[in-house]
Structure 1
Amino acid sequence: MAQVTLNNIRKVYPNGNEAVEPLSFSIADGEFVVLVGPSGCGKSTLLRMVAGLEDISEGTLSIGDSNVNHVDPAERDIAMVFQNYALYPHMTVRKNIGYGLKNRKIPAAEIEKKVQEAAKMLNLTEYLERKPSQLSGGQRQRVAMGRAVVRDPALFLFDEPLSNLDAKLRHQMRIEIKALQRRLGVTSIYVTHDQVEAMTMADRIIVLNAGRIEQIGTPAEIYHRPASTFVASFMGAPPMNLIDAQVKDGRVVIDGDTPVADAQGTGAVTMGIRPEDVEIGPTCDMPFTIDIVEELGAHRLLHGKLAGQDFTIHIGKDVAAVAGPIRISINPDAVVLFDAETGVAL
């Protein structure tokens, strides 16, 4: 296991394209950190620099106490799990899992012991003599993880490993990967564009946008106190509601004069509120027009208009959803304010 430290890491390609702006952060020994962001934000490039598969243009990368900027990928004591599994189709599960150890001249008896241990851990024992074509997507991903586990690395790197799986398998594999990482205690960096994966798996999340860090924090910090409107709109399903508002006379007001929460300062702001931090009822103070009701079994989403702006409300299955106008109230303690021009949290 190892701490990972990135100090002003930057990536610029020969054509001048800056894929990753200078950024710095540290990952503690045994921590599970998720890099999340939209396509093209630089998360996979950053992971590949840690792996040694991309050159670092500027800055220093340390794994443990060693600067590894110019260390060959094979010498970095890492194991990487890819999106496409990268299995050898002509080899059995047993040989796929143990192949890397064989290349390192590990004795056959020790390889077999490690393969058996990994197979038991990942529920692959009965599939050891099968080839990848005889396995499901989830089983193939377990084989790829088994190949990483037997190496006993200091660092696990996951590059969107679940994106080729269906929704049910993704949910199952999220649980399995997190449970495996906790059991082994190996420092892990996980890349995904799926904010649900990030929220459910991470000890800490690093939100990336256009090659820069928007926010670093625990899932709860990212969700409840986003650092920008980008984070607020990217993290959460559904995302945070963002409404044009004003601060005047110590109050946040929408629609000209409807007070929502206390605030300091004055002028235009963007008000953020999560869909679940809204109540509905006849004694509430704001009219809300419902356009669409999404039935999701355990809960409902009401999509409509508040003060003429798009707005979503999350309600439980026991709350009757009605068509047309209703009245709502916003929890003032859950309101987050952002600068109307820059989108940065105030």
Structure 2
Amino acid sequence: MANVSVKNIRKTYPNGTEAVMPCNFDIADGELVVLVGPSGCGKSTLLRMVAGLEDITDGELQIGDRVVNDLDPAERDIAMVFQNYALYPHMSVYKNMAYGLKNRGTSKEDIDHKVREASAMLNLDDYLDRRPSQLSGGQRQRVAMGRAIVRDPALFLFDEPLSNLDAKLRNQMRIEIRNLQRRLGVTAMYVTHDQVEAMTMADRIFVLNAGRIEQVGTPSEIYRTPASTFVASFMGAPPMNLLPATYNGNGSVHLNGETSLKVDAPKDHIGDIQLGIRPEEVKLATGKSATPFKLELIEELGASRLLHGKLAGHDFTVNAPNNDAPLADNLMLDIPSDALHMFDHETGKRL
């Protein structure tokens, strides 16, 4: 196990493309951090730089007490789990898990002990003599994890390991990986584009956008106090409603000049803003003090339903409990003042 320290590392390709802009962060021993963002944001490139599969253009990478910039992947004491499993198809499960240890010159007794210990941990005992083609996707992913575990690495790296699995199996494997990481107490970096995976698995989340780390925080911090409109719209399902608005400086926000909402604390900024409101923080209401909402479409989700429509002429979504009550086209909403998030109109940064 080890901590990770990243100091001003960046990645620039020969054509001038800056895939990862200079970034600094530390990962504590035993912590699981999730790098999340859309395709092309630089998260996999950053992970591959830590793994030694991509050269670091500038900066310093430290794993444990060693600077590893110039070390080969095999010398960094890391283990990586890929989305395509990367198993040897002609080898049994046992031999796949033992292969790395055999190459290290580990004794047969130690290999057997480590492989059987890992297979018991991953419920693979009944499959050790099978080949990968005889396994399900989830079982193959367990074998790939077992192959990493037997090496007892200082750092685990996961590169979208669940993206090839169906939704039900992804949910199951998500829990298994998190429980396993906690049981082993190993430091881990996990890359995904799925914000649900990020929210449910991470000790801390690193949100990346266009090669830059937009925000670092716990899942609760990322969700409740997004640092920008990008984070606000990317993290959350359904995403935060973002509306053009005007703030007059006295505690009121105006939408389209016709709807006024009260905010909790005065802000220094006066003028155009982006107003953010989470769909689940809005309640259906009655009374003249509530805000009018024109309903256009209902999505049934079982325990809740998504109400899509217009608020002050802008697209707006409400996540409401499903009590099977019929809904009229014109509804009223209760929007609490503490549910409002204000962002700079031009930069998108939180005010």
**1:296 — aligned with what?**
301
Deviations 1:9-57 (A, max 9, x none): 1101111111111111110110000000000000000000000000000
Q: Of residues 254, 279, 294 in structure 2, which corresponds to 1:275?
A: 279
Give the Cα separation in 1 of the matches to 2:26 and 2:328.
50
Alignment of 1:31-110 (within 5 A): 31-110=31-110
1:250 aligns with 2:290: no
SS of the equivalent of 1:233 reads helix
Give the Cα separation in 1 of the matches to 2:236 and 2:137.
27
Give the Cα separation in 1 of the matches to 2:22 and 2:285.
49
- How far off is 1:214 after superposition? 0.5
- How far off is 1:285 after superposition? 1.3
* Native 8 Å contact 2:10 2:57 kept in 1: yes
- How far off is 1:255 after superposition? 3.0
- How far off is 1:261 after superposition? 2.3
Give the Cα separation in 1 of the matches to 2:281 and 2:324.
15
**1:232 — aligned with what?**
232
Give the Cα separation in 1 of the matches to 2:84 and 2:328.
45
Give the Cα separation in 2 of the matches to 1:132 and 1:301.
42
Deviations 1:123-143 (A, max 9, x none): 111011100000000000000
What code does the residue aligned with 1:304 have? G
Deviations 1:142-181 (A, max 9, x none): 0000000111110000000000000000000000000000
**2:14 — aligned with what?**
14
The range that moved more, 326-335 or 277-286, is 277-286
* Native 8 Å contact 1:215 1:222 kept in 2: yes
CA RMSD of the aligned region, Å? 1.0
- How far off is 1:264 after superposition? 2.5
1:344 aligns with 2:349: yes
SS of the equivalent of 2:153 reads coil
Question: Any unmatched runs of 5+ in structure 1?
Answer: none
* Native 8 Å contact 2:259 2:312 kept in 1: no
> Structure 1: which 4+ aligned runs deviate by more than 6 Å?
none
Deviations 1:75-111 (A, max 9, x none): 1000000010000000000111111001111111111
What code does the residue aligned with 1:87 have? L
The range that moved more, 46-55 or 241-250, is 241-250
- Structure 2 CA distance for partners of 1:314 and 1:17, relative to 1, 3 Å: same
Aligned pair count reads 346
What code does the residue aligned with 1:95 have? K
**1:126 — aligned with what?**
126
* Native 8 Å contact 1:159 1:191 kept in 2: yes
Alignment of 1:158-307 (within 5 A): 158-248=158-248, 249-262=250-263, 263-265=266-268, 266-283=270-287, 285-307=290-312
- How far off is 1:250 after superposition? 2.6
The range that moved more, 243-252 or 100-109, is 243-252
- How far off is 1:268 after superposition? 0.9
* Native 8 Å contact 1:251 1:264 kept in 2: no
Give the Cα separation in 2 of the matches to 1:214 and 1:228.
8
TM-score (norm 1): 0.98
Give the Cα separation in 1 of the matches to 2:325 and 2:279.
16
Give the Cα separation in 2 of the matches to 1:178 and 1:327.
42
* Native 8 Å contact 2:11 2:21 kept in 1: yes
SS of the equivalent of 2:26 reads strand
SS of the equivalent of 1:320 reads coil
What code does the residue aligned with 1:179 have? N
Give the Cα separation in 2 of the matches to 1:223 and 1:253.
24
